[in-house]
Amino acid sequence: MHILVVASDYPNPSDPLEGVFERDQARALQSAGHTVTYAAVDLRSARHRRPLGLRHFVEDGLNVYIYSLPVSPLRAAYEPVGGACFRAVLRRVCAERGAPDIVHAHFLGAAAIAAPVCRDENLPLVITEHTSALNAPDPGAALVKTMRKTYPLADALLAVSSLLAESILRCTGERAAVVPNIIDTQSFGAVKESNAPGKPFRFAASGFLLQRKGYDLLLRAAGELCRRGYDLTLTVFGDGPERETLEKLAETEGIRGRVDFRGQCTRKELGEAYAQMDAFVLASRRETFGVVYIEAMAVGLPVIATRCGGPEDFVTEENGILIPVDDESALTAAMERMMLRREDYDSAAISADIRRKFAPETIAARLTGIYTAVLKNRGH
């Protein structure tokens, strides 16, 4: 089966996380025996420096086509220009690699561009929605309008979490099946080491340093626990616009020496670092999935997560603690409980369960079943 994966970008040195979920899925499908082509229409503004126009390259056996054009500020032009770019990519893919059997678009922006073209070319379309803004109480009229005109053009509509599927149903009346993101089992493989006697309890957190990730709550909770006499450290992996503010907050809380802002890490570095930690904690205010949690769990770490849209699907009493959003007292209590009851969690069992549920081969098999059903419904 020839699958054309459609995204808005592809991971690169300046933006290593852009398109990473789509690339992971493309590689998993390729490993499952499919012919996979990756197509990105990148319409970000000119401040994002990159080669413009249509280019093609092969990375780790994956054929990648990217059409880059600085359009983003001109919102009215986004879909028509993006559609023209996608048509150009599709023509070249068909000429060089043959017509795809399935087009699989990720995120609403890429789906809105690809859907009308697939309709015109009579190509089967699968859409996977990841967009975090759709989990907001009010996603906004513009997003809802785009959802309502795009989703009905799909042969199959998927969402990465149950809450996101519920949001889609509430906003559009369209039903989405839940197919989660993939975990990189090679990078997140080693089950954590035992905590050596006498060491402080080591919490890890990871993700973009944004207000919606709730790092402010986390630092205040850590500060409160230290004032109560608990011996802990917090290592924060990732970077973002809130870093300076968060560093100042750590100073204010009197815990700057206990908090290590590690910056951006590769997945391999992150997996190795997690193996030295005792638990993972993140107080996100909104997520559509939360891959950082399952990455930590794959290494055997129990997690503390909020009921923010994604973690509810996979955090249980056996592998962690779920707390309400924006509840500093509940977060403090959960961290205290984790330090006191860490031995209640079986690292090997946590790792094995997560790796089984979110392994590339597991998700690729589910997608293959969906593609097969779509083609059967179309009489292929």
Q: How many CB atoms lie within 10 A of CB 53?
A: 10
Q: E strands along the chain, which residues?
A: 2-7, 35-42, 53-59, 62-68, 102-106, 125-129, 156-159, 177-178, 201-206, 232-237, 259-263, 279-281, 303-306, 320-323
Report the CATH number at residue 142: 3.40.50.2000
Q: Which amino acid is located at 111 in the chain?
A: A
pLDDT tens-place string over residues 150-177: 999 999 999 999 999 999 999 999 999 9
Whether residue 212 is found in the same domain as residue 316: yes
- Which long-range contacts (C-beta less than 8 Å, at least 24 apart) are formed by 193-196? 193/275, 193/276, 195/278, 195/342
Q: How confident is the model at residue 73 (pLDDT cuts 50, 70, 90)?
A: low
Does residue 196 fall inside a structural domain?
Answer: no
Within-domain flag for 249: yes
CA distance 170 to 338: 36
Quote the pLDDT of residue 78: 82
Q: Do 177 and 31 share a structural domain?
A: yes
Instruction: Tell me the pLDDT of the chain averaged across its residues.
Output: 92
Answer yes or no: are the C-beta atoms of 278 and 342 closer than 8 Å: yes
pLDDT computed for residue 195 by the predictor: 58
| Overall domain count for the chain | 2
Kindly list the strands in the beta sheet with 303-306, ordered across the sheet, starting from the edge strand earlier in the chain. 259-263, 232-237, 201-206, 279-281, 303-306, 320-323
For residues 309 and 163, the answer to whether their CB atoms sit within 8 Å is yes
Tell me the C-alpha distance between 159 and 131, whole Å: 9
For residues 153 and 268, state if they share a domain: no
Tell whether 170 is covered by a domain.
Answer: yes
Residues 100 and 208 in one domain: no
Q: Rounded to whole angstroms, how far apart are CA atoms 124 and 114?
A: 11
Does 188 map to a domain? no
- What does the pLDDT read at residue 166? 92
**Rounded Cα distance, 90 and 39, in Å:** 8
Same domain, 326 and 368: no
Residue 51, domain extent: 2-182+359-377
With respect to residue 163, please indicate whether it lies within any of the assigned structural domains.
Answer: yes
Q: Are residues 178 and 211 in the same domain?
A: no
On whether both 263 and 172 belong to a single domain, the answer is: no
Q: What is the reported pTM?
A: 0.90
Asked if residue 24 lies in contact with residue 104, where contact means CB atoms within 8 angstroms, the answer is no
pLDDT confidence of residue 136: 77
* Whether residue 350 sits in one domain with residue 368: no
Confidence band for 193, pLDDT divided at 50, 70 and 90: low
* Out of 43-47, 267-271, 322-326, 366-370, least confident range: 43-47
Q: What angle do CA 349, 354, 356 make, to 5 degrees?
A: 95
Tell me: do 255 and 363 sit in the same domain. Answer: no
- The percent of residues in the chain predicted with pLDDT above 70, rounded, is 97
